[in-house]
Chains A and B, each alone.
Chain A
Amino acid sequence: DAKTTQPTSMDCAEGRAANLPCNHSTISGNEYVYWYRQIHSQGPQYIIHGLKNNETNEMASLIITEDRKSSTLILPHATLRDTAVYYCIVRASNFGNEKLTFGTGTRLTIIP
């Protein structure tokens, strides 16, 4: 699976949009970009995933560049409950290769 690079930490004001970047320059054509987050002391939580088109769900939006070498997770109106470690993971979407390889992630702190 392709390696990802994320900033170690970020701050965002409550109510503003939080934009979390991720670089995955070695991504392959069949690899998806996944985002998970881990709120303190809880299990990781799925947020969103995409292949090449931008995706949006009730939690967030995922913007993937045209060359697919980087992406941005957007939390449109951050709340204090969004304080967590956010993981960007790239993995192929085939049977037998479903494991998630977690990096160190980005520690997002929402400031009141």
Chain B
Amino acid sequence: DARVTQTPRHKVTEMGQEVTMRCQPILGHNTVFWYRQTMMQGLELLAYFRNRAPLDDSGMPKDRFSAEMPDATLATLKIQPSEPRDSAVYFCASGSGTGYDEQYFGPGTRLTVT
């Protein structure tokens, strides 16, 4: 049963620290998405990649967030420095990239910045 995996599942850190979240997309999927969910804003797209190249990162605060795909099996989302307002659940999703296919979401990383 192919699944998107995310690590860590929970992260508590202090303001100013660097946070790295990792995602392993489903093998063979060539599109990867990062979403963030908060009570106030709901689910919102931060960035997405096709074939490891960024296609849209307009939802991501550029000064502190960065997203990369070092290889086809790993996507990372980094926050440096972290702030309390970054507290949220971060979801990774992957898709087969046909343009209309469904996205498969991981279990999320719950981030708390104190």
Residues of A within 8 A of B (CB): 32, 34, 38, 42-46, 49, 87, 93-96, 98-104
C-alpha spacing A96/B50, complex, angstroms: 8
Q: Are A102 and B31 in contact (CB under 8 A)?
A: no
CA distance A93 to B101 in the complex (A): 8
B45-A99 in contact (CB<8A): yes
Q: Is the CB of A94 within 8 A of B99?
A: yes
B residues in contact (CB < 8 Å) with A: 4, 31, 33, 35, 42-45, 48, 50, 55-56, 91, 93, 95, 97, 99-100, 102-108
Are A99 and B56 touching (Cβ within 8 A)?
yes
Chain B's interface: helix, strand, loop or mixed, by majority?
A: strand
Q: A102–B99 contact, CB under 8 A?
A: no
> In whole angstroms, what is the CA distance A86 to B40 when docked?
18
Question: Measured between alpha carbons, how far is A45 from B106 in the docked complex, in Å?
Answer: 9
Residues from chain B with Cβ under 8 Å of A46 in the complex: 102-104
Measured CA separation A45–B107 after assembly (Å): 10
Would you call B91 and A32 a contact (CB within 8 A)? Answer: no
Q: Are A100 and B45 in contact (CB under 8 A)?
A: yes
Q: Compute how far the CA of A66 lies from the CA of B106 in the bound complex, rounded to whole angstroms.
A: 35
Which residues of the other chain, A, contact B91 by a CB distance below 8 angstroms? 43-44
Q: B48 and A99: CB pair below 8 A?
A: yes
Q: Assuming A101-B45, A102-B42, A102-B43, is B105 touching A44 (CB within 8 A)?
A: yes
- B99 contacts which of A34, A44, A45, A98 (Cβ < 8 Å)? A98
- B63 smallest CB distance to A (angstroms): 22
- From residue B18, how far is it (CB to closest CB) to chain A in Å? 24
Q: A42-B107, A43-B108 known; A96 and B55 CB under 8 Å?
A: yes
